[in-house]
Amino acid sequence: MAGLLRRIHRQERGGALIESLVAAALLGIALVYLVGSLSTLTIASRQSEQVAVGQSLARAQATRIKAAPYQADGDYSSVLEPVPAGLSRTVTTHWWDGSGDWTATQNASGLQRVTVSVDAGGSTVASLELVKADR
């Protein structure tokens, strides 16, 4: 009987080491998965923040342009506020030609369509249009 117990005990040598290695490997895989998920979450959060700030900026710029006096040349740069880092703003003006089309050529029709676009990282995150009349 003692010989049988010694053989069983010898066969189990290293079992704890193998169990420890398997447990460490499983924990390592779980850690890699969690770090990857955290990285994805951080990137998505940053992108969402840029979209929210861009939309807010576009609304604020459009409100300032709307409140400003009519500029026949379509240049509203004097009323615009600075743009936060990482974002860029484009303001374009088109004039109504009197027959239903908008053109980039300035005219005396007295009606403008002003478009405010905000870009982040090369893609547009917000775009608003407003119409101004010479009153």
69-99 residue pLDDT tens? 998 888 999 999 898 888 999 999 999 888 8
DSSP line for 28-96: HHHHHHHHHHHHHHHHHHHHHHHHHHHHHHHHHHHHHHHHSPP-TT---GGGPPPPPTTEEEEEEEEEE
Task: Name the maximum alpha-carbon separation found in the chain.
Answer: 111
pLDDT band at 109 (very low <50, low <70, confident <90, very high): confident
37-80 residue pLDDT tens? 999 999 889 888 888 999 999 999 999 999 999 988 889 999 99
Task: Give the number of domains in the chain.
Answer: 1
Q: Which two tokens stand for residue 3?
A: 């010989």
pLDDT of 86 reads 86
Q: How far is CA 52 from the centre of its chain?
A: 8
Beta bridge partners of 130: 114
* 58 or 13, higher pLDDT: 58
pLDDT of 101 reads 87
Secondary element (H or E) of residue 115: strand 111-120
pLDDT band at 9 (very low <50, low <70, confident <90, very high): low
- Please state, in angstroms and rounded to a whole number, the distance separating the CA atoms of residues 30 and 82: 45
Q: What is the pTM of this model?
A: 0.67
Q: What is the dihedral of CA 108, 113, 119, 125, to 10 degrees?
A: 180
Per the structure, the complete domain to which residue 129 belongs is given by 2-133
pLDDT of 105 reads 84
